[in-house]
Structure 1
Amino acid sequence: MLAVLAGTGFDASPRWPTRIQVFVANSGSDTVTAYDTRLGKVTATIGVGDYPTGVGAHPSGHRVYVTNESSNTLSVIDTRSLAVVATVPVGANPFGVAATPTHAYVTNFGSGNVTVVDTATNTPVKTIPVGRFPHSAVASPDGSRVYVTNNGSDSVTVIDARSQTPVDTIPVGVFPSGIALSFDGKRLYVANTGDDTVTVIDTGSNRPTEVTKVGNAPLGVSVTPGGRVHVANTGSDTVSILGPGGKPLDVVKVQRMPEGSGAAPDDSFVYITNTGSDTVSVIDAVSGKPAAPFTVGDRPEGVAVTT
């Protein structure tokens, strides 16, 4: 089994890129943990705003965006200097964030809208109305669409990123939370916390094609380049692994209260934040086997993986 072992880094295989960084929002300590997978260690603990929850990476990998739920701000982190370079005011109780090359889209859980932030100037430029209690967001690979889960409306809002307007609403399960796209952008996966399911959506038609039962209270979801879907089931301390169409493949036991899920872009590992144990579980993206976890800050929630 290929594994990340603390202090040893990765196997010297061409499967691994030069550098992958994992950024974890620690809501209980108002920090972000930066973990270098090649070094196999935490490289920085970065102070951000109050109660950081969501993390999203810019497509270039040079910036990471962190939502601060209690201070109604967005922290912008330079991934090379590992320092906050801007703090942007957004809406009420921001939770999720997704970035295109030109803009970051922040879901404001408390104000029922999305703040659009210009990534060149780090300034808010527009507010887009969506459904009730918007939770998480993901951008399409080409940057043309942004998808937002509406926790209080049991739906997903589709935003046209060019016009920055909603263009469709997709019905899903109960209390949709986490959301992820396949690397080709053709399938959308939504974790429905209220009914323990994942809805699979065809992005060509914007309609569900499959509903899969997973563990208790699924929250975070991510997709590997190889098409495997990893769902963090916070109520059952497990990760459900699904195939590209949503077929269940395996269930992996992790530590207490798994919440966030992030996949490495090289099909190496998947990183699961465990809110109840202040750790990140590491799962081999190909074999599905667990590797050594690592410790982060207090109450880790969102996670982003970037090169």
Structure 2
Amino acid sequence: MGVLMAGTSAAQPAAEPPIFVLNSLQADVSVIDPATWTERGRIATGKEPHHLYLTPDEKSLIVANALSDSLTFVDPRTGQVQRTVNGVVDPYHLRFSPDMKWLVTAANRLNHVDFYRWDGSDLTLVKRVPTSRTPSHLWIDAASRTVYSSMQDSDELVAIDIATQTIRWRSPTGAMPADVYGSPDGKLLFVGLTGSDSVEVFDITGPQPRSVQRIKTGKGAHAFRAAGDGRHLFVSNRVANTISKIDMQSLQVVDSYPAPGGPDCMDVSADGRYLYVSARWARKLLVIDTQQRKVAQEVRVGKSPHGVWTLRHAPR
């Protein structure tokens, strides 16, 4: 573990930090210029890049290539490939702990969650935790004590203790749980039910979780992104072709926006006005104006676009 290979450049620097869109079925990343709304380059990665995450020092964006068992490190400001780390098994989803000590990956195909020690440069596998069927998305609490993982094909939410790297509890969920998001006060978890039309809300203040509400958003509720104001949360409804805005205090949908083509992952502009959304079935990046409630821009990208990210985003 931790063997680093030199990378190569696949994009040119730009004045504005680019928007990255992962093309899961083309093994590459579209680099979008937010000034001209054009694709100005592609970054070659391993097979099936699905999700990405910024390193704690904010110098590298890590693209996880699930089918190639590798991570591609990219400069988030220029789009230049910095290096590749091989031997990371089936990294479908990934997240750093807030204390910056751990990189946690979900092996979607192989039914385990891995804990890698992060020393600021290299990764060392410390523990592989068997889960249940198809770990999908991860969330880590602010205290870096617990990893929460949805189990897409066994309809569960699993909590893993970081100190011991053992499963603390399991809880049944609605159909096909996907993304997970924790409320700013640490009391609630929101789980997108892709096999349903709702977001399930869990109270996690006690020793066992308690399902307290299902918020109806739209068919195929899938991925989350914070609005940046500490109160609202966006969720993509992949089948309904909409984005819903949830009030995390009232647990109600307070707004909705059109997002044709199978909306999946999102990012939010620094001022909170625009949503950058991957349209999974339409092979596009959508730029949605939340004030005018319409698609303001469309950019053609690769096959099955998934993860979306930019350095200049609203607070998480």
Q: TM-score, normalised by structure 1?
A: 0.74
Structure 1 residue 2: Cα displacement: 1.9
State how far apart, in whole Å, the 1-side matches of 2:83 and 2:264 are.
27
Asked whether 1:232 is paired with 2:278, we answer: yes
State how far apart, in whole Å, the 1-side matches of 2:250 and 2:199 are.
13
- 1:123-157 Cα shifts (integer Å, max 9, x gaps): 21111211111011122334332211011121111
Asked whether 1:173 is paired with 2:234, we answer: no
Asked whether 1:153 is paired with 2:196, we answer: yes
The residue type equivalent to 1:258 in the other structure is P
Structure 1 residue 94: Cα displacement: 0.8
Give the root-mean-square deviation of aligned CA atoms. 2.8
Structure 1 residue 30: Cα displacement: 2.3
The residue type equivalent to 1:165 in the other structure is R
State how far apart, in whole Å, the 2-side matches of 1:146 and 1:31 are.
29
Give the alignment of 1:114-193 within 5 angstroms: 114-163=157-206, 164-193=209-238
Asked whether 1:85 is paired with 2:120, we answer: no
Match of 1:69 among 78, 101, 108: 108
Q: Give the structure 2 partner of residue 253 of structure 1.
A: 299
The residue type equivalent to 2:293 in the other structure is K
SS at 2:200 equivalent: strand
Structure 1 residue 201: Cα displacement: 1.1
State how far apart, in whole Å, the 1-side matches of 2:309 and 2:182 are.
14
State how far apart, in whole Å, the 1-side matches of 2:181 and 2:310 are.
13
How many residues in Structure 1 have an aligned counterpart in Structure 2? 257
Work out whether residues 215 and 238 of structure 1, in 8 Å CA contact, stay in contact via their aligned partners in 2.
no
Work out whether residues 31 and 46 of structure 1, in 8 Å CA contact, stay in contact via their aligned partners in 2.
yes
Asked whether 1:25 is paired with 2:68, we answer: no
* C-alpha spacing 1:245/1:30, structure 2 compared with 1 (3 Å): farther
Q: Give the structure 1 partner of residue 85 of structure 2.
A: 45
Q: Give the structure 1 partner of residue 98 of structure 2.
A: 59
Structure 1 residue 18: Cα displacement: 5.8
Work out whether residues 192 and 198 of structure 1, in 8 Å CA contact, stay in contact via their aligned partners in 2.
yes
Work out whether residues 285 and 301 of structure 2, in 8 Å CA contact, stay in contact via their aligned partners in 1.
no
The residue type equivalent to 1:173 in the other structure is G
The residue type equivalent to 1:59 in the other structure is P
SS at 2:92 equivalent: strand
Work out whether residues 275 and 288 of structure 2, in 8 Å CA contact, stay in contact via their aligned partners in 1.
yes
Query: Which structure 1 segments of 5+ residues have no match?
Result: 6-16, 269-284, 287-305
Query: Which structure 2 segments of 5+ residues have no match?
Result: 1-13, 19-55
* C-alpha spacing 1:24/1:171, structure 2 compared with 1 (3 Å): same
The residue type equivalent to 1:98 in the other structure is W
Structure 1 residue 244: Cα displacement: 5.5
Q: Give the structure 1 partner of residue 252 of structure 2.
A: 207
Structure 1 residue 72: Cα displacement: 0.6
Q: Which moved more, 1:106-115 or 1:195-204?
A: 195-204
Structure 1 residue 236: Cα displacement: 1.8
SS at 1:25 equivalent: strand
State how far apart, in whole Å, the 2-side matches of 1:225 and 1:61 are.
23
The residue type equivalent to 1:130 in the other structure is T
Q: Give the structure 2 partner of residue 271 of structure 1.
A: none
| Regions of 4+ moved over 6 Å | none
SS at 1:215 equivalent: coil
Q: Which moved more, 1:135-144 or 1:35-44?
A: 35-44
The residue type equivalent to 2:277 in the other structure is V
State how far apart, in whole Å, the 1-side matches of 2:257 and 2:133 are.
32
SS at 1:85 equivalent: strand
Q: Give the structure 2 partner of residue 298 of structure 1.
A: none
The residue type equivalent to 2:131 in the other structure is V
- 1:281-306 Cα shifts (integer Å, max 9, x gaps): xxxx59xxxxxxxxxxxxxxxxxxx9
State how far apart, in whole Å, the 1-side matches of 2:292 and 2:131 are.
34
State how far apart, in whole Å, the 2-side matches of 1:122 and 1:189 are.
30
The residue type equivalent to 2:88 in the other structure is V
Structure 1 residue 86: Cα displacement: 2.5
State how far apart, in whole Å, the 1-side matches of 2:232 and 2:255 are.
11
